[in-house]
Amino acid sequence: MNWNKLLCNRNELQLRGTLNGGQSFRWTHNKDKDEWTGIFSKTVWKLKQSEDFLQYQIIGSLKNPPESIKSKTRKDANEPNFEVMLKKYFRLELPLTKYYEEWSEKDALFKTACKQFYGIRMLAQEPVENLFSFICSQNNHISRISSMVEKLCTFYGEEICEYEGVKYYSFPDVNKLSGSQVEQKLRDLGFGYRAKFIQKSAAQIVEWGGEEWFDTLHNMKYKDARQELMKLCGIGPKVADCICLMSLNHLEALPVDTHVYQIAAHNYLPHLRGKKNVTDKMYAEIGDHFRQLYGDMAGWAHTVLFCADLKKFQTDTSDMENSKPKKKRKK
> Is 287 inside any structural domain?
yes
Residues in the chain with pLDDT values less than 70: 64-79, 311-331
pLDDT value for 80: 80
Q: Is 326 tagged catalytic?
A: no
What range does the domain containing 270 cover? 95-120+251-320
CATH number of the domain to which 276 belongs:
1.10.1670.10
> Is 292 inside any structural domain?
yes
What are the residues whose beta carbons fall under 8 Å from the beta carbon of 287, sequence distance 6 or more?
241, 253, 254, 256, 298
Long-range CB pairs of 137-142 (<8 Å, 24+ gap) are 137/25, 137/239, 137/242, 138/194, 138/197, 138/234, 138/239, 142/22, 142/25
Q: What's the whole-number average pLDDT of the chain?
A: 90
> Is 313 inside any structural domain?
yes
> Is 295 inside any structural domain?
yes
pLDDT value for 324: 53
pLDDT value for 320: 46
Catalytic residue among 238, 275, 281, 328: 238
pLDDT value for 317: 45
pLDDT over 90 percentage in the chain: 82
> Is 270 inside any structural domain?
yes
pLDDT value for 116: 87
pLDDT value for 73: 41
pTM of the model: 0.89
> Is 138 inside any structural domain?
no
> Is 52 inside any structural domain?
no
> Is 277 inside any structural domain?
yes
- How many structural domains does the chain have? 1
